[in-house]
Chain A
Amino acid sequence: MQRWKNFLQIPKRINISPRLLLAAGLVALFVAIPLVYIFFRAFTGGADVWIRLLQTRILKLLANTLLLTAAVTCGATFVGVSMAFLTERTNLPGRHLFRWMLALPLAIPAYIGGIVHLTLLRPRGGVIPQLLENWFGQPVPTPSPLGFWGAAFILTLFTYPYVYLLSGAAFRSLNASLEEAARTFGRNNWRTIWEVTLPALRPGLTAGALLVALDILSEYGTVALLRYETFSSAIFVQLSGRYDRSAASILSGILITIAIIILWGELRLQGQARYTQMDSQWRPASLLPLNRWKIPALLLVLLVVSASLLVPVFVLGYWSLTALLDPETLSSIMRSGSQTFGDYIWHSLWSSALAALIAVVLSLPVALLSVRYPSKLSKAISRFTQIGYAIPGVVVALSLVLLVNQFLPFLYATPLIVVMAYVLRHMPQAIRASESALNQLSPSMEEASRTLGRTSLQTIFQVILPLILPGLMAGASLVFLTSLKELPATLLLRPAGFDTLAVRVWIWAAEGFYIQAAPAALLLVLASALPLYFLLRREQIFK
């Protein structure tokens, strides 16, 4: 979440600190190695493997992946913007409550939402088709949650909050004078929105949409569950099916290339999105009366909130209760080997927390460099370290399996390799949060500290860090939140006995034992809701 305020201070040109540059460079190197290694493996993959893949897989996977990414991005943008519009700019009843409920699906990993909707909607066997059949006395055709449309539907439901949050913030910060001017020129309310408001939001919206697109490219659990094959799931199958790693490397190389193109677009837009408005003249835009559209609008919001939040949480709660009340089911979910349910919770919490801490620490030199010493080089390093957004979890896992086992065998099959994957994959969130926190800190504080005789390191620890701590916490929360739900990397990298909540959900759900999967899933959702709550409060979106 960016704050669209332009900062008037021009940083003083100081000679770049070599130590800082070294530290930031090392972080960039850490991020780069897996990427470079995968490309190397892909291009040395051997012509026969390339030919086999080209003949059988690549075109179909490419079409499947791009189609799903495009559909979900469009769907999430549409749902996100319309929900933001209704809760921010109209007199929708209960909009203060809906603001929360529309953001909270971020705490539900899409594969868990998928499990719930699959059980409800599966053709013939699902709860809803069976209810309808009993009702009407004959089977009623219902939309299937499987395949392309199902995957698009479910992924839209659980990714629209990205767009919703970004566009909600944009709607709120939009100046009333802009729309008033449009009306002065004779536009009615709806035309004003269409011709003035939405275009003004475009940079932020597109950035949000591209984040959704990156998310879909790396999605594994949902597409595997709904049996729609994309690059991510195909890589997983190759990686777990064949010892020959070249096929997996080749598919990964192509997937990363697509992701980098999208990321590049997103980074460009991030730059342009600094939409300028003069603070002194800012007034909130007025609310639009819905009038006769009030009921349909309310129903629409209720529908989205139900499908993405209320129904999944209710169903998970019901299943968990069923599981907890049945002693036999309870005893079966409590153990795996000698491990117990408490171990899964503990593994999830500490690995995600450690990843959050490391990611924030590593983000500091990069953020300091790019904010305090702006130059082509520092900007390039900052951009480069955000490459993790473009490396799906399954690719991170592939590169770490290959690299660590070869060069750092003592790290292999320890929980630390899992943490390392989380850091690699989620560091961009920490970097963005740290940069935005530093951007809001005036350099004069540091100058005063240096003038008073502190060294640069003392200044960092005694002045900068305490001041930007809340911003760093936000970054840490984001990394924690996303690490908690990370599935493919954890599945592939976990040492024996190191199952996390996400892994347990998957092991049960992949076998069709949804009730057994529910308690871990519910806990995962609740554990994600806490940091999310903190983030939403901090963003001052919700009062």
Chain B
Amino acid sequence: MTKHKIASLPFAVWMLIFTILPLGMVIWFAFTDSKGTFTFDNILKIADFSETFLISILLGALATLICLVMAYPVAFIISRTGERVQQTLVMLTMMPMWMNFLLRTYAWMSILEDKGFINQFLGLLGMEPIHMINTRFAVVVGMVYNFLPFMIIPLYSVMVKIDKSIIEAAEDLGSNGFQVFRRILLPLSAPGIVTGITMVFVPAVSTFVISKLLGGGKEWLIGDFIENYFIGTAKDYNIGSALSLVLMVLILLCMAVTGLVDRDEEKGGIGG
């Protein structure tokens, strides 16, 4: 027992310095003014940003949903291939992340522009150009592209542990494809789904830069405002912290809802 405790000490110290302490500072700043006196003003000012919060959460949720729908079959297919192929496919999934995030988002700007790659291609086919850049659509595309690997990897690591014989057994007993998915795969991969959603939703909701590069900077997301309060022109740690705090609470609420759904899912899967 004590051995375990000693082994976890470095992590505990790390958590204390880099997670607990900064979190405490965020809370401190959120509830004080520039002179350090206690106030609720910062939190009350958040009301001005309610629409931005709503849009950020909606776009983040949409991106997460698209990631989930796209990643689920991919992760399943990867998990059913041979070991060698699996390694290669996982590496290919991760590969875009070796390139700088900004550079990748810049590339998407060139892809989605009115005279960008997609529209040039459509032009070759004699089709009308589609306006995509500087819209919410482009922002969601940027989120999906940047965060997709964070959905595939956790799903894959759970699915690869699902015993092939369980699926075969279900099929032998007469389950059709949908039933196998609904009653075997889904419940068994639920932990991966929850992890994936967390890993995509959290950065997507709080993202900045994507909205500036792909959204044309006309409609900032909550991450852009927070950035502006910390390292932008409007340097104000107090309001910035209040925004961060409210964002954290909202994300926790969203995660709690996902967690509940997940538990129901598991119950339904096993019981029914």
Do A and B associate with each other? no
Binding site for A on B (CB under 8 A): none
Q: Which residues of A does B touch, CB under 8 Å?
A: none
